[in-house]
Structure 1
Amino acid sequence: MEKWDLYDKHRNILEKQITRGDELTLDEFHLIVHVCIFNSKGEMLVQQRQPFKQGWPNLWDITCGGSAVAGDTSQQAASRELFEELGIHYDFEKIRPHFTINFERGFDDYYLIEYDVHVNDLILQTEEVQAAKWASEEEILKLIELKKFIPYHESIISFLFEGRHHYGSIRL
């Protein structure tokens, strides 16, 4: 039974938690994190969701993501999700998200890191992940076009690749 901390619209933590699947009121929000790992060749590590996974079964997705559980900071949630889904240890405590996308029910923090790891060294979480591979921006956009990748906005995928080396929205 997964518990979530709740936040107000200004991202202040409320003294309230809910169980995953419970309804949020209009003034309650939760935190989700995504991690995008890029290798030194400029490819992103992507994962394929299990066919029995609720929500986007069998589709490819960015490196990893999930909800922060009660008590998690954004950085702790990113570290936990990356380890749970792919068996990768990474310390996020000294970094902050590259950007946050607000969605209807919460905040979605994105971490963009460069880390060379061999796909054969990954420990895939069998409940969620069936495969992983390195993919270029062009390959990901093609998979989206073919409806084999979660249908992110193409501009977001491009921003992930372009913004991976620096914070902010200005080209440096």
Structure 2
Amino acid sequence: MHRADSEETMELWDIYDIDRQKTGKLAQRVNGKSMPEGEYHLVVHICLFNAKGQLLIQQRQLDKIGYPGLWDVTAAGSALAGENSASAAARELWEEMGICHDFHGERPFYTINFPDGFDDVYLIEKNDVALSDLRLQQEEVRDAKWATLEEIEEMLDSGEFVPYYRHLVRVWFEMVKHRGSTTRE
């Protein structure tokens, strides 16, 4: 068994109720298994942009259970037991890419509810990240590069990118500099 697979099966998650309140119970991650009805877990996605408006993307390892070999956002993963959204985002970004970012006091740009939980999406800008400085997590990340919206849309069309909704990808690029749902500040 690959090391990443054995580590993933040992992950413990806090269980939340539908109102996003911790229930005090824990769940052990089991790949391919859904959460019981009425129980939810927390996931984070981090989209890191540079001053040129490019998104740092990663290529998933070929032996990953979900979307092997496809390109994905900068970092993502489930919050571990005891973590809040911000600490999970900081850990995932550090583990997968070797990038330190202080998420303390930072809220996600938005949350997407999915059948098994809550997905907090962070859109951040860092202008001092060079590809040569990245420390990729060998078990999970095969490669990394900067990409424009147009390049990612081409990758979506060719099946090389995790199949996010196209309009969702566009939202990342449009909202990185703006909070809220209106064009007025």
TM-score under structure 2 normalisation?
0.91
- Give the 3-state SS of the residue equivalent to 1:155 in structure 2: helix
Contact 1:163 1:169 in 2 (8 A): no
| Residue 29 of structure 1: aligned partner | 40
The alignment partner of 1:65 has SS state of strand
What pairs with 1:6-85 in structure 2 (closer than 5 Å)? 6-21=15-30, 23-85=34-96
Runs of 4+ in 1 over 3 A off after TM superposition: none
TM-score by length of 1: 0.98
| 2:13 aligned partner, one-letter code | W
Match 1:129 to one of 128, 141, 148: 141
Q: Secondary structure at the match of 1:168?
A: coil
- Cα shift at 1:124: 0.2
User: Number of residue pairs matched?
Assistant: 172
1:88 to 81, 99, 104: 99
SS in 1 for 2:90: helix
Any stretches of 5+ residues in structure 1 without a counterpart?
none
Please tell me the residue identity of whatever aligns with 1:10: D
The alpha carbon displacement at 1:11 in A equals 0.3
CA contact (8 A) 2:34 2:116 kept: no
Displacement of 1:23 after TM fit?
4.9
SS of equivalent residue, structure 2 residue 100:
coil
Unpaired runs of 5+ residues, structure 2, are 1-9
1:168 matched to 2:180: yes
Task: Indicate the residue corresponding to 2:163 in structure 1.
Answer: 151
Deviations 1:48-77 (A, max 9, x none): 000011110000001110000000000000
SS of equivalent residue, structure 2 residue 180: coil
Give the aligned CA root-mean-square deviation in angstroms.
0.9
Shift of 1:171: 2.2
2:6 counterpart residue number:
none
Paired with 1:121 and 1:98, the residues of 2 have a C-alpha distance of: 26
Task: Using the TM superposition, give the Cα deviation of residue 24 of structure 1 relative to its aligned residue in structure 2, in angstroms.
Answer: 2.2
